[in-house]
Structure 1
Amino acid sequence: MEITRVSIVGMGSLGLIFGSFLYDKLGSDYVEFIIDKERAQITDYGHRIINGKSYDFKVVSGEGVSKSQLIIFAVKSTSLESAIETVRKSVDESTTIISLMNGISSEKILGEAFGMDKILFATAEGMDPIRTERSLNYINMGYVFIGTDKEDENKRNRLNDLIRLFERTEFPYKVEKDVMHRLWSKFMLNVGVNQVIMMHEGTFETIQKEGPERDMMIKAMREVIALAEKEGIRVSEKDLEFYVGLVDSLNPRGMPSMRYDGLHRIKSEVEMFAGTVIEYGRKHNVPTPINQKIYDTIKLIESKY
């Protein structure tokens, strides 16, 4: 099936970066943001300024939504359950779903809601957004890795449909043969970068320079490497070095979404990051003291909101 329309859930940094790109390539009628009824009541909710360009995105909600060909989830883990209910009426048997969410669990949750036969695996890397409520600026757009969890005709067809869309629009993507390795590697990156920057109320510059913050980031990432090995996923020191290099290339003034949560006194994704590491540590009897310290510190910060 040729994918001609794209539905996006989430108007945060990732949703806006990739949504605006597809809007420019496909046209305003073929990219929509699915939002809940409460947000649909806000005047001009779809208006955003991205890298200085004005966009009036199509937003849809409620009973009148059409069935989606491709749904891209770009919400925080704390909003996933409500987002699933928001899009439920947009999904039918032909709908393909990808998640650009952080962590290693969203595909399983989406599969339980809609069927794993509809789910392709994806992860986004290399973005450096600076965002306000209605505007966003970035230097590096990043790219999306895509792949499947198993080889069968249905998954191959869905992946090929997605590749054709990305090729047609010159979307920045790469097909990943070992997509679980990529998801765990990105998880390792987020566990180190996102949490340490939030803890220290900083920007990417905080962990780009030598010092205790950078040391903590690397130690937190190494705890993920140890757990990935126990899960049969080969994440290595070479992967760590690659991702540290990637972070060092980002705009020093940029910051991850978790830092924006702290700035706006919103509960963060610490459960999905340090909480998941601690959970896997208990499962495999592997100590995770750095992530425990991060978890306790962020929970203390959030208790004061």
Structure 2
Amino acid sequence: MKEIQTTAIVGMGALGLLYGNQIAAELGTSAVRFIADKDRIKKYREMNFTVNGERRSFPVEDCETAAPADFIIVAVKYNALPAALDTMKHCVGPDTTIISVMNGISSEQIIGERYGHEKVLYSIAQGMDAMKFGAALTYTKFGELRIGVRTPDQADRLKAMTDFLDRAKIAYVAEDDILHRLWGKFMLNVGVNQTCMAYETTYSGTLTPGEAHDTMVGAMREVIALAKAEHVNLTEQDLEDYIRLLETLSPDGMPSMRQDGISHRPSEVEMFAGTVGRMAKKHGLSTPVNDRLYERIKEMEAQYSLCL
């Protein structure tokens, strides 16, 4: 694989801006561009983006005239993935490597079905406490990427990726068992994202003994049972490790799903409790905690239109 020089990012949410800002800071603005349709470009150009209070501007390119990129970061919400696949179509060349920093356990498969599984490296973004409201991104922890391959013939692609991350000074760990890590992050998100939204709380609220904490842990344990049914060996030790990870984040921070709730945007509940419920039925498992979270979050979303 050739050296990665150009990066295209789809999505100017918290993670899109986080990585775009870091790449631009270390490798220059010519190394990174955001890809969008004409309507989004107009919207973005009217926004004054800031990162930790400092004004930032980034190149935004029309998706219809975009050139192939060496590297694509898909940084959108679950509901926006189908549109993102269309947005990035001109950026995908024969040697393009793609990662998704989306939540969940299915985006890599979906992207691979469209553009070729050989182009997609599996990745998890974790340990950051990035929050974005409007055009303002704030964070105290940058976090890290966990990356890996599903097949040995992706080894050269992984080496090109780690060389790029080194140059961009983006922390990462290359995983031997990326599927285990993917499910571990899914377990964490199912617990903390949904609990923070349903209980309208922050990270500290989920770590304080009480109903919210018990709900978070209960939802995570249902994912452990589901993972085992899917032949992925998640354990209580994994749960404890992720709880410790939460303890390193800003106590006043909150995950993207809680930010969606505050902004009255559709959440990713279908990707979390919805996925857990559907997969559990296949294995004859019960998921009462996730079922309750699903109902509560759907009730909250139904109230959005009434608040206008």
- Please tell me the residue identity of whatever aligns with 1:280: M
DSSP 3-state at the match of 2:221: helix
**Cα distance in 2 for residues equivalent to 1:163 and 1:240:** 27
Matches within 5 A, 1:1-20: 1-20=2-21
Give the deviation of 1:112 after TM superposition: 1.0
- Please tell me the residue identity of whatever aligns with 2:273: A
Provide, for residues 8-29 of structure 1, a one-character-per-residue CA deviation record: whole Å limited to 9, x for no partner: 1111111111211111011011
Give the deviation of 1:276 after TM superposition: 0.6
**Cα distance in 1 for residues equivalent to 2:193 and 2:62:** 31
Matches within 5 A, 1:280-299: 280-299=279-298
Provide, for residues 56-81 of structure 1, a one-character-per-residue CA deviation record: whole Å limited to 9, x for no partner: 10111133211111000110000000
**Off by >3 Å, runs of 4+ in structure 1:** none
- The answer on whether the counterparts of 2:131 and 2:256 sit within 8 Å (CA) in structure 1 is no
User: Please, what TM-score do these two structures have when normalized by structure 2?
Assistant: 0.96
Give the deviation of 1:47 after TM superposition: 4.3
The structure-2 alpha-carbon separation of the partners of 1:283 and 1:266, relative to structure 1 and needing over 3 Å to count, comes to same
Matches within 5 A, 1:100-139: 100-139=101-140
Give the deviation of 1:42 after TM superposition: 2.8
Determine the structure 2 residue equivalent to 1:201: 200
1:73 aligned to 2:74? yes
**Cα distance in 1 for residues equivalent to 2:158 and 2:191:** 30
1:56 aligned to 2:45? no
- The answer on whether the counterparts of 1:39 and 1:45 sit within 8 Å (CA) in structure 2 is no
Determine the structure 2 residue equivalent to 1:151: 152
Determine the structure 2 residue equivalent to 1:183: 182
- The answer on whether the counterparts of 1:142 and 1:172 sit within 8 Å (CA) in structure 2 is yes
Matches within 5 A, 1:254-273: 254-273=253-272
Determine the structure 2 residue equivalent to 1:86: 87
- The answer on whether the counterparts of 2:51 and 2:136 sit within 8 Å (CA) in structure 1 is yes
Determine the structure 2 residue equivalent to 1:32: 33
1:241 aligned to 2:240? yes
User: Please, what TM-score do these two structures have when normalized by structure 1?
Assistant: 0.97
The structure-2 alpha-carbon separation of the partners of 1:280 and 1:116, relative to structure 1 and needing over 3 Å to count, comes to same
Identity of aligned residues (%): 44
Give the deviation of 1:84 after TM superposition: 0.5
Q: Give the CA RMSD over aligned residues.
A: 1.1
DSSP 3-state at the match of 1:123: strand
How many residues are paired up?
303
Give the deviation of 1:40 after TM superposition: 1.1
Provide, for residues 51-104 of structure 1, a one-character-per-residue CA deviation record: whole Å limited to 9, x for no partner: 122211011113321111100011000000001101111112111100010000
